[in-house]
Amino acid sequence: MSKLFSPLQIKGLDLKNRIGMSPMCMYSAGDDGISTDWHFVHYGSRAVGGVGLIIQEATAVEKRGRITGNDLGLWDDSQITPLKKTVDFVHSVGCKMGVQLAHAGRKCEVKGEHIVGPSPIHWSNEYPTPEELTKDEIKNIVKAFGSAASRAVKVGYDTLEIHAAHGYLIHEFLSPLSNKRTDEYGGSRENRVRFLREVLEEVKGCIPQSMPIFMRVSATDFVEGGLDIDETVSIVNLVKDLVDVVDCSSGGLLSPRIDLYPGYQIGYAEAVKKSTGLLTAAVGLITSPELAEEIIGNGRADIVLLGRALLRQPYWPLYAAHELKANVAFPEQYERGKYL
């Protein structure tokens, strides 16, 4: 029996298989952050295609927390109903859906927004220097994550993911390369983790106990003096009581050259799983059914999150089931297209 197509239960989240859709920004909302027909079709087609879980793209917890002016948002109640339409459809075809809650920090590209970060260090020469957050402003952003989580519950998501990776605000606090603060939010590892922990605590208090929390991390900054896998394991251990699944990505804080190859990030998920005992999700150019099966079958991670592969092939899970000889039902409407 294929391990990739075995079920997985995480608290109240029941997944029919171990294949998930990785959060990928579509930059297709308006300035109001409200989802559109594009999002409905985009996510709906992957649900029909057989993934067990969809994690919605980075969704901003406040307006200045967007990456671009076309990001989705959950900072206002007006954003709930359009998102619920998509989530309800995803559920109707047997798929689960989560949302990635995010704040871009110094990587916000939106003209006219008040750009902020843990320290006044810009991301690149093309980006403005952010204003250092005061402690009161930090508390307000923590509350914004909680408010967004409350709205996520109203939308009907099955889980949510806290975006602590790719050089966005939480990652900026975690890495000593971008956090030069001298107060309780900077310096030691415990201090640099404080903002993340406060966000997780706030979010946990705003969702049902049965709702699991994913956390995306950048396991390494690929730069000397920044985060590496050992530091990441230590960070995860400091918040493991608040997290159910660690989604292990890498990079994004700066722009170093990275050697890319199929499965290049799997070792990070494997290391975090082994060292912390938490469930992990693996990402990173996972394109073949055989590679995905190997990751799950050998216990290197508990879920594989596909990105580009699902942009190319929305029905990749149905193809993978055929290749791995797993008995998976086709959507009734597509029975005539079933692999023989």
DSSP 134: P
* Integer Cα distance of 111 and 220 in angstroms: 30
**Counted domains in the chain:** 1
At 333, the pLDDT band (50, 70, 90 cuts) reads very high
Per-position DSSP letters for 320-332, written without gaps between them: HHHHTT---PPPG
CATH number of the domain where residue 180 is located: 3.20.20.70
In a domain, 96, yes or no: no
Which residues 6+ apart lie within 8 Å of 69 measured at CB? 31, 109, 110, 111
Residue 256 falls within a domain, yes or no?
yes
Residue 154 falls inside a structural domain: yes
pLDDT at 257 over 80: no
Q: In terms of C-beta distances under 8 Å and separation of at least 24 residues, what long-range contacts does 203-206 make, across chains too?
A: 203/101, 203/145, 203/146, 203/149, 203/160, 203/162, 204/242, 205/146, 206/146, 206/147, 206/149, 206/150, 206/153
- Name which of 183, 209, 210, 203 is nearest 194 in CA terms: 183
- Residue 138 resides in a domain: yes
Least confident of 15-24, 119-128, 233-242, 296-305: 119-128
- Write phi, then psi, for 244 (nearest 5 degrees): -105, -35
Average pLDDT over residues 76-84: 98
Measured in whole angstroms, the distance separating CA 102 from the mean position of its chain's CA atoms is 9
pLDDT value at position 318?
A: 97
Instruction: Give the pLDDT band of residue 87 (cuts 50, 70, 90).
Output: very high
pLDDT at 1: 85
pLDDT band at 258 (very low <50, low <70, confident <90, very high): confident
Among candidates 175, 174, 185, 168, which has minimal Cα distance to 133? 185
Q: What is the DSSP code (8-state) at residue 102? A: E
Evaluate whether residue 129 is within a structural domain.
yes
- 209 domain-assigned: yes
pLDDT at 158: 98
Report yes or no on 216 lying in a domain.
yes
- The verdict on residue 208 lying in a domain is yes
Task: Give the residue with greater pLDDT, 123 vs 221.
Answer: 221
Q: What is the pLDDT of residues 162-205, one digit of tens each?
A: 999 999 999 999 999 999 999 999 999 999 999 999 999 999 99
- Domain containing residue 215: 106-301+308-332
Q: What confidence score (pLDDT) does residue 103 get?
A: 98
